[in-house]
Amino acid sequence: MFSKETHILVVDDSVNIRRVIVDNLTRLGFKKIATASEANEGYGKLSFFVDSPTPIQLVLSDLNMPGPSGLDFLKKVRADEKFKELPFLLVTTESEKGAVIEAAVSGVSGYVVKPFNIETLTKRLQDAWNKHYGPGAKPGG
């Protein structure tokens, strides 16, 4: 599972959803959480922190946002050599099945379906960890 020191980026155009995700991550013990209200801001934060002592190591992004969507954001992240292996979870609703398939092809690490609870979020984080680092890997990759 991700270390409690993992630097996480939460991208969502809804301040309420961002707050719910951040609150749940904080309850799980995560301490380094950055937020962005849209994909371009999120990509800017990824780029800003990439060469810092604490680069972003996990992204949770809303799928359906105005401007560049979460899917557009995912594709941009995967196209950049620096971020192509970055664990990236999309936060979706049940009705977004078509985009979910496209996201899978584009390299998404997993999905968190709204509404969700802390147990579901924990499971999706574990699934993303396992996909990127393997079930027996120690925190930090």
Q: Which domain covers residue 39, as residue numbers?
A: 7-133
Which residues fall within 8 angstroms of residue 118, CB to CB, at 6 or more apart? 24, 27, 28
- The answer to whether the beta carbons of residues 35 and 14 sit under 8 Å apart is no
Give the integer Cα–Cα distance in Å for 38 and 41: 6
What element of type H or E holds 73? helix 70-79
Give the number of domains in the chain.
Answer: 1
Q: What is the largest CA-CA distance in the chain?
A: 39
What is the model's pLDDT at position 22?
98
Residue 33 domain-assigned (yes or no): yes
d(CA 33, CA 59): 10
Res. 141 pLDDT band, cuts 50 70 90: very low
In a domain? residue 47? yes
What's the pLDDT at 88? Answer: 98
Say if pTM beats, i.e. exceeds, 0.85.
Answer: yes
Give the model's pLDDT for residue 74. Answer: 98
